[in-house]
Structure 1
Amino acid sequence: MARNTDGLSRERIVETAVELLDSAGESGLTFRALSARLKTGAGAIYWHVANKDELLAAATDGALAGVTAAGRTPEEAIRAVAIDVFDAIDAHPWIGGQLARLTSQRTTLRILERLGQQVQALGVPAEALFYAASALLNYILGVAGQNAANARAQTWGTTRSEVIGAESELWASLDPAEFPFARAIAGQLRDHDDREQFLAGIDLIIAGIKQTSEAGTTQTSESGIK
């Protein structure tokens, strides 16, 4: 096999690793497969990346490079971060598992930082900052990761609407005495959009955070009354 080290860079290696992860998952990302895809030797890759853990961390960081906190208000900025992460994990399902690894800690911290700055801008009391920001982070990573996992678990040849439709019919057929709530929302399950459901959860968390901020402001004002 011809060896080609021309133009080989860390960026090119990471881009190719992302492609392999997307097509074959973490088990398919080996230095042998990477070498074959890049048409170079493993030694040339090791010059740029020390080991697979470092490569996975770099690939995760690269796949999430587009996450921004763009928005005119803290609420808009939080939604922007949330949907960017949701879309990135939807496009690259392997990211969800990687963000739980210590090697991806800096990537997770960057997401937390973007969220935390907006939580601060909402005026949340200092003692509640950790809980508010971590609640957002855990919701975003958890729901986005579960959504991607559900998509991967879907039986080949079936569509999302078929799967959700069958589940909705099951809910509607449940015992009304034991599952009155599930029966009541069966139609909403059938018709819901995953992205809209995800953002509705973000809005609920933001509403709770704002109440915490308002409560803190009220307590501060009351403590200043003589």
Structure 2
Amino acid sequence: MAQRTREDALSRERIVEAAVELLDAAGERGLTFRTLTERLATGPGAIYWHVANKAELLDAATDSLISDALAVDPTGSPEEEIRVLALGLFEAIARHPWLSTQLAVQLSRSPWGSVTPRIFESIGQRVSALGVPEATWFTATSALAHYIFGAAGQNAANVRVLDGVDRAEFLHAAASAWEDLDSGEFPFMKSIAGQVREHDDREQFLTGIDLILTGITAQGRD
């Protein structure tokens, strides 16, 4: 086996991969240059050669995961590509709960960075292909982005809260409690209790995407 060079042994990609592993294990507090150097069995100087600081490292880790999630094979149907793209982002955030917070930071504090333009370009190209008026492109793309990250972020929060808890048992308990609510004060909550007990998070998420797409495409028919 050929001997690995120092550059091969410690690339920016390997540093980012290790950072993602630490973030997955312990969140942002678990990612320090000390823990990173220990995981990579190297010195801090070698890491600083590739990454200037923790903020840059977080940005790079976020960008790496988002780039993978946005890799959608063309199907010729912008609606289907939006569904695939949205589900890819939803599942990425479910696998990496810390990603939700980092995306919120990127979208609000640095919309000129690499992540926000990449997300809006990927969604926006498909929105423009739906044939809706150009004047609505920004609003329609924003509506999809806000729904995707809001729903995915809430799902990630649920995953954290329910860590170690049986999901089916939790939903059954919640549904049962809603069924016991006063019918005069909470008629709607009682009526949907059975749906809560049986629902699938991903199917529910995609139904929301379809509802938004229906609204967006209706504008093209006006």
Provide TM-score, normalisation by structure 1. Answer: 0.89
Tell whether 2:99 aligns with 1:111: no
1:96-107 map, 5 Å: 96-101=100-105, 102=109, 105-107=113-115
Q: Distance in 1 between matches of 2:92 and 2:221?
A: 33
Count of residue pairs the alignment pairs up:
211
Amino acid at match of 1:50: A
TM-aligned CA deviation for residue 64 of structure 1: 2.0
Contact 1:69 1:114 in 2 (8 A): no
Partner of 2:71: 68
Identity %: 56
Partner of 2:199: 192
Q: Distance in 1 between matches of 2:26 and 2:149?
A: 22
Partner of 1:28: 30
Task: Give the one of 147, 150, 175 matched to 1:168.
Answer: 175
Contact 1:69 1:81 in 2 (8 A): yes
Q: Which consecutive residues of structure 2, in runs of 5 or more, have no partner in the other structure?
A: none
Task: Give the one of 99, 117, 137 matched to 1:129.
Answer: 137
Partner of 1:37: 39
Bigger-Rg structure (1/2): 1
Deviation sequence 1:169-188 (CA, Å, 0-9, x none) = 11111111111111111000
1:176 is paired with a residue whose SS is coil
Deviation sequence 1:125-169 (CA, Å, 0-9, x none) = 121111100000000011001101111011x54211111111111
Contact 1:5 1:40 in 2 (8 A): no
Contact 1:5 1:44 in 2 (8 A): no
1:211 is paired with a residue whose SS is helix
Contact 1:60 1:95 in 2 (8 A): yes
Provide TM-score, normalisation by structure 2. Answer: 0.91
Q: Distance in 2 between matches of 1:82 and 1:191?
A: 22
